[in-house]
């Protein structure tokens, strides 16, 4: 029987891969046979996540990087290719969502940081790795965005705007890097992870969605595996709304 999610021998780079949905996806891809490059700002957390992947019998590279700082991205890409020789799947998952009291009180520094992590970093990393993927025969890029892009809340306006920009850039990069490289996005609603532990139970009981709950980690994993798989070869430039049928 064909395993459509088989990732044996594939190399997957996940930003924000040391916790939350990033770590869950890293484990899910490792279960399907992939080797991982795990990056986030804190090397200790990257190493802990990498050790968990290695305990599953896979190879993992831990690399500390602030994706909002373009100067650090070249080093990340160089380290990944030096270790594994290629990247088959890039998952731009890292994000920050600082709240603001009002637009008038939002500082230029904070709005630059918000766009840096949520849009500029994924843009640049996709450009660096997408070009290499084209040269080496193909690959898959997956941007993790947010339903805030279509249902923004005032206190998270810049975050929502950055994710909306990443949705648009997903299509643009699909056209630029195609046909060899596919670029898609997962526009995620709330999920039950360690990051959401302060609010996940209340959100789960009162979720305004068709499934009457928030998402579980395995539900983002299978969506990411589908988009990474060669069997989704006709899916590109697509933003998948993964929110349980929010009203």
- Answer whether 180's CB lies under 8 Å from 137's CB: yes
Q: Is 159 a catalytic residue?
A: yes
CA dist 116 and 95 (Å) reads 9
Would the pTM count as exceeding 0.75? yes
Edge-to-edge, what's the strand order for the sheet holding 35-40? 60-64, 35-40, 11-15, 89-92, 139-146, 181-188, 239-242
At 46, list the tokens.
């990257």
In the chain the domains, ranked by start, together with CATH numbers, are 11-242 (3.40.50.720)
- Answer whether 144's CB lies under 8 Å from 97's CB: no
Q: In this structure, are strands 89-92 and 60-64 parallel, antiparallel, or unpaired?
A: unpaired
Per-residue pLDDT at 192: 76
- Answer whether 25's CB lies under 8 Å from 93's CB: yes
- Answer whether 186's CB lies under 8 Å from 235's CB: no
- Of the chain, the end-to-end C-alpha distance in Å amounts to 38
> 40 pLDDT band (50/70/90 cuts)?
very high
pLDDT higher than threshold 80 for residue 153: yes
Give the number of other Cβ atoms within 10 Å of residue 166's Cβ.
28
pLDDT in tens, 179-226: 999 999 999 988 877 777 777 888 778 888 888 888 888 899 999 999
At 127, list the tokens.
């450009």
Which residue out of 63, 81, 159, 226 is catalytically annotated? 159
pLDDT in tens, 157-181: 999 999 999 999 999 999 999 999 9
pLDDT in tens, 47-79: 999 999 999 999 999 999 999 999 999 999 999
Chain center to CA of 62: 16
């Amino acid at each position: 029987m064909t395993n459509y999610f088989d990732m044996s021998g594939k190399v997957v780079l996940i930003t924000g891969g040391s916790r939350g949905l990033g770590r869950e996806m890293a484990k899910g891809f490792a279960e399907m046979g992939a080797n991982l490059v795990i990056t986030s700002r804190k090397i200790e957390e990257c190493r802990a996540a990498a050790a968990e992947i290695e305990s599953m019998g896979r190879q993992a590279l831990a690399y500390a990087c602030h994706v909002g700082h373009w100067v650090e991205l070249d080093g990340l890409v160089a380290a990944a290719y030096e270790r594994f020789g290629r990247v088959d799947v890039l998952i731009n998952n890292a994000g920050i969502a600082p709240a603001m009291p009002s637009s008038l009180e939002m500082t230029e520094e904070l709005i630059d940081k918000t766009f840096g992590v949520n849009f500029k970093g994924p843009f640049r990393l996709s450009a660096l790795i997408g070009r290499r993927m084209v040269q080496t025969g193909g690959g898959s890029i997956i941007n993790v965005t947010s339903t805030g892009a279509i249902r923004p809340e005032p206190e998270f306006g810049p975050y929502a705007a950055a994710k909306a920009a990443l949705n648009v850039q997903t299509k643009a990069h699909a056209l630029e890097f195609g046909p060899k490289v596919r670029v898609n996005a997962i526009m995620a609603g709330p999920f039950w992870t360690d990051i959401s532990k302060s609010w996940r139970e209340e959100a789960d009981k009162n979720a305004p969605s068709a499934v009457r709950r928030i998402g579980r980690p395995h539900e983002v994993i299978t969506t990411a595996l589908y988009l990474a798989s060669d069997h989704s070869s006709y899916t590109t430039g697509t933003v998948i709304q993964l929110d349980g049928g929010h009203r």
